[in-house]
């Protein structure tokens, strides 16, 4: 298969669109997309662009490349949708309308579905680690790569594709990061009166919300976010400048 860079991005965007259709992305779905990325010889940057494309307004999967590629793309879309267990009500219309664009009959589609299910069953001895996406044995209790617990189902480990910035209070958002304060930041965010996480682009984002009178509590999280680029603050759903909201903490120091 020799696809252009643009075609590889479009191919992968179709998979991302299916994975996000049911409102969350599970570790097994992410692993299935990464496997397809390697198989078609696409770089990580292509996957990042595919993520952005699939999340753009009004995105609809389109066929790319010759017929064999379109069939392969359809098979991969079905693999991704079945990766978290079932072809659910949200994923089905995406797959069906794509199959229609490929131009295959319903019988051919059923045949492909059966083939993909059979292939997945033989691969059922493995699953994706929810923490690091390593391929691990289904029997394992802990991930041999990162040591994380595997005592959680793929469905339960799925992360939402969006959250809503609340209309009142101070909402802090930040993306996963290798910065030293990140682990503490996640812990504090999860202790906030209101909190959520979601996948934007290829990164997991965290949101923590405090009522305005608890700005000092919010400021404790700010300490851990020092030097992080991917962070935002919202006051009553209005994006605000970091220094304007938290400038006072420098004074009190
Ligand atoms: Zn792991």
Distance 253 CA to ligand 1 centre (A): 39
The whole-number average pLDDT for the span 192-219 is: 91
In a domain, 28, yes or no: yes
In a domain, 153, yes or no: no
d(Cα 43, Cα 185) in Å, to the nearest integer?
31
Amino acid 207: pLDDT: 97
Q: Over 80: is that where the pLDDT of 250 sits? A: no
Amino acid 77: pLDDT: 96
pLDDT tens digits along 40-68: 999 999 999 999 999 998 999 999 999 99
Mean pLDDT over the full length of the chain: 90
Distance 35 CA to ligand 1 centre (A): 16
pLDDT band at 190; cut points 50, 70, 90: very high
- Work out how many domains the chain is built from and give that number: 2
Distance 153 CA to ligand 1 centre (A): 14
Amino acid 1: pLDDT: 55
pLDDT tens digits along 89-137: 889 999 999 999 999 999 999 999 999 988 888 777 788 998 888 889 8
Distance 17 CA to ligand 1 centre (A): 25
Q: Over 60: is that where the pLDDT of 232 sits? A: yes
Distance 57 CA to ligand 1 centre (A): 33
Q: Over 70: is that where the pLDDT of 251 sits? A: no
Distance 132 CA to ligand 1 centre (A): 4
Whether residue 112 is found in the same domain as residue 61: yes
- What percent of the chain clears pLDDT 70, i.e. is strictly above it? 97
The answer to whether 160 and 199 have CB atoms below 8 angstroms apart is yes
Q: Which tokens hold the place of 140?
A: 């394992």
Distance 226 CA to ligand 1 centre (A): 27
Looking at the chain, list the stretches that DSSP marks H as alpha helix, in order from N- to C-terminal side: 5-21, 27-39, 44-54, 67-82, 91-102, 106-122, 182-191, 215-224, 242-252
In a domain, 148, yes or no: no
- CATH number for the domain spanning 209: value is 3.30.70
In a domain, 179, yes or no: yes
- Could you tell me the residue range of the domain that residue 175 belongs to? 163-252
Amino acid 253: pLDDT: 45
Residues 6 or more apart whose CB falls under 8 angstroms from that of 70 comprise 63, 64, 101, 102
Distance 147 CA to ligand 1 centre (A): 6
In a domain, 154, yes or no: no
Of residues 13 and 157, which shows the higher confidence score? Answer: 13
Q: Over 70: is that where the pLDDT of 147 sits? A: yes
Whether residue 9 is found in the same domain as residue 109: yes
Global pTM reads 0.76
- CATH number for the domain spanning 79: value is 1.10.3680
Whether residue 129 is found in the same domain as residue 169: no
Whether residue 105 is found in the same domain as residue 169: no
Amino acid 249: pLDDT: 55
Of residues 1 and 152, which shows the higher confidence score? Answer: 152
Distance 130 CA to ligand 1 centre (A): 7
Distance 148 CA to ligand 1 centre (A): 5
User: Judging by DSSP bridges, how do beta strands 24-25 and 170-175 pair with one another?
Assistant: unpaired
Outline where DSSP puts E strands in 124-237.
Answer: 126-128, 135-137, 159-160, 170-175, 194-200, 203-210, 231-235
pLDDT tens digits along 195-208: 999 988 778 899 99
In a domain, 146, yes or no: no
Kindly list the distances between the CA atom of residue 214 and the CA atoms of 68, 99, 207, 236, in Å, as whole numbers in the listed order.
58, 52, 16, 14
Whether residue 131 is found in the same domain as residue 67: yes
Query: Reduced to 3 states, what is the DSSP secondary structure of residue 238?
Result: strand
In a domain, 181, yes or no: yes
Distance 131 CA to ligand 1 centre (A): 5
The whole-number average pLDDT for the span 219-224 is: 93
Whether residue 109 is found in the same domain as residue 216: no
Whether residue 111 is found in the same domain as residue 178: no
In a domain, 142, yes or no: no
Distance 122 CA to ligand 1 centre (A): 22
Of residues 18 and 131, which shows the higher confidence score? Answer: 18
pLDDT tens digits along 160-187: 888 999 999 999 999 999 888 999 999 9
Whether residue 238 is found in the same domain as residue 177: yes
């Amino acid at each position: 298969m020799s696809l252009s860079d643009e075609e590889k991005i479009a191919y992968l965007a179709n998979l991302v669109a299916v994975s996000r259709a049911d409102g969350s992305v599970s570790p097994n779905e992410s692993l299935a997309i990464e496997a397809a990325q390697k198989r078609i010889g696409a770089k990580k940057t292509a996957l990042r662009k595919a993520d952005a494309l699939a999340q753009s307004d009004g995105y609809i999967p389109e066929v790319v490349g010759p017929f064999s590629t379109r069939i392969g793309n359809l098979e991969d879309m079905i693999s991704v949708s079945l990766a978290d267990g079932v072809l659910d009500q949200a994923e089905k219309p995406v797959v069906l309308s794509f199959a229609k664009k490929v131009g295959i009959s319903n019988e051919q589609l059923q045949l492909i579905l059966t083939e993909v299910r059979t292939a997945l069953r033989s691969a059922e001895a493995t699953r994706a680690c929810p923490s690091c996406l390593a391929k691990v044995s289904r029997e394992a209790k802990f991930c041999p790569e990162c040591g994380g617990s595997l005592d959680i189902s793929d469905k339960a480990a799925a992360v939402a594709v969006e959250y809503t910035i609340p209309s009142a209070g101070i909402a802090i958002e930040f993306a996963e990061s290798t910065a030293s304060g990140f682990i503490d930041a996640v812990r504090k965010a999860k202790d906030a009166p209101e909190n959520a996480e979601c996948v934007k682009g290829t990164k997991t984002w965290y949101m923590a919300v405090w009522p305005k009178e608890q700005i000092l509590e919010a400021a404790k999280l700010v300490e851990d976010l020092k030097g992080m680029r991917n962070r935002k603050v919202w006051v009553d759903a209005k994006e605000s400048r970091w220094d304007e909201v938290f400038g006072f903490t420098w004074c009190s120091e």
